[in-house]
Amino acid sequence: MRGPALFLAGAIVGGIAGGAVSTYVAGTPRGDVALPGATQAPATLAPPPSPSAVAGTATVPDVADVARELSPSVATVVTKLASGRTGTGSAFVVDAQRGLLLTNHHVVSGGRSHDVIFPDNRKIPARLVGSDPETDVAVLEIGATGVKPLVLGNSDDAPIGGTVVAIGSSLGDFRNSVTVGVLSGKGRRLQSETEPNIFLEDLIQTDAAISPGNSGGPLILAATRQVIGMNTLVIRARGSEGLGFAVSSNTVRQIADEIIRSGKVERGRIGIAYQALSTRQAASLGLPANTSGILVSDVLPGFAAASAGIRPGDVVLKVNDQVIDPEHPLPTIMLRYRPGDRVRLTVFRDGKEQVLEITLGRPS
């Protein structure tokens, strides 16, 4: 039986990523905002409003009002690729003064240049501040625009079953398309379509229609008019219906803040080469056959593992309290840790378990 087909919700003219796009959005006038230079010591994005600040807004939402109020802050992203093809996606403004927009990594990946097109047909060149493939988050900068920023809400507080509105450039041509659904689930995880060793974590599930070109657009909780997710992919398989997914706003805020501050996201590094522990290897070491973990094949000199006494032949079973297994591979677990963080590794060596504390290093 074939597994479900995952489609990134970006679109490429000429057609990959979920479907062909026959026409490029062209002929729109260029805005008079110049391509900005580097942002100097920017502040972080605004924190989500407190629950009390929005308590009075949780009435029956009028989707037309939500779309009318928030659509002007959603733009089409046009990425010119090195191959000569053109990719399209969506983005939304989160800081009007600096002109910062959030979108997906896969929308801007491999691009030589980027433009954003607003609903009033302004076409503005954008600078890629940085992006993070592990969470599929990217930040673009266009300079001050006067466009009202959208508010990143607290995705943890968003209620299952709440009405949500997705806004984006369906197929790249149908700019600022609005679809409606409910928040179907939270805390979902899916394997990345482009990075087989990475699982996208803390995804929000929705049955609002998401199409190629919607990637990077906001998923809005209608009752509060706050962004609770960034649309990123959809599952299309026989028997499936309404399986769209968005990166949670809490993940987006954390990653975007790091990108805005330094242009990248640095994750803590253990400093080992390894392979998944096989059933045969587990048995030969005296471990139960169903034991999950990784077998260390090499320890890189000068990194945390070497300082902590990790050796080739060690089996690492856990990082802190998280078991390393096919659903929680080491690269996914390490998404949450930064250089300087201290973590505990549960290691099986010489027939017994021991716990080693290490301070994570930086990538070389």
State the catalytic residues: 106, 136, 215
Strand partners, 315: 295, 348
Interatomic CA distance for residues 13 and 123, integer angstroms: 18
Interatomic CA distance for residues 238 and 3, integer angstroms: 10
